[in-house]
Structure 1
Amino acid sequence: MNIQVDADKCIASGACAQVCPEVFDLDDEGVIVVLDAAPPAELRAKVEEAAAACPAAVIEVHDQSRV
């Protein structure tokens, strides 16, 4: 799994960090920060939930083979 984000479109809701703090955080301005762009497979469900929770839809989750 590989994660890509469009931080320029982030609206700083913080939903990603609330759902999956192992992978996402917010910087001092409240903008998304990816702590682990290739997290372990056991976090996939939480990462996908965080992506779905993002109101700005800035998180993309890809299989490793697509990277």
Structure 2
Amino acid sequence: MRVTVDEDRCAGHGMCLTLCPEVFEMSDDGWAVAAPGEVPADLESAAKDAIANCPERAIVEIDN
């Protein structure tokens, strides 16, 4: 699984960072960004929680 954050939708709430800090971080501008590449298998559940709990629905799972 891979994820991306739609920078036009992200409002910088940081919920994703709280739920899965190994995959998400905040940019210098205060918006969430996802680590490039595959989400490690042991973090997929946490990444899916971040997707489900994003208030702006800005996180998207990318089909491989």
Q: Matched residue pairs, number? A: 64
Partner of 1:34: 34
Structure 2 unmatched runs, 5+ = none
Structure 2 match to 1:49? 49
Partners of 1:33 and 1:3 in 2: CA distance? 9
Identity of aligned residues (%): 36
Any conservation in 2 of the 1:19–1:49 contact (CA below 8 Å)?
Answer: yes
Structure of higher CA gyration radius:
1
Contact 2:4-2:33 at 8 Å conserved across structures: no
AA of the residue aligned to 2:17 = A
C-alpha distance in structure 1 between counterparts of 2:45 and 2:25, whole Å: 17
List structure 1 segments (4+ residues) > 6 angstroms apart after TM superposition: none
The letter of the residue matching 2:41 is A
The structure where helix makes up a greater share of residues is 1
Q: Give unmatched runs, 5+ long, in structure 1.
A: none
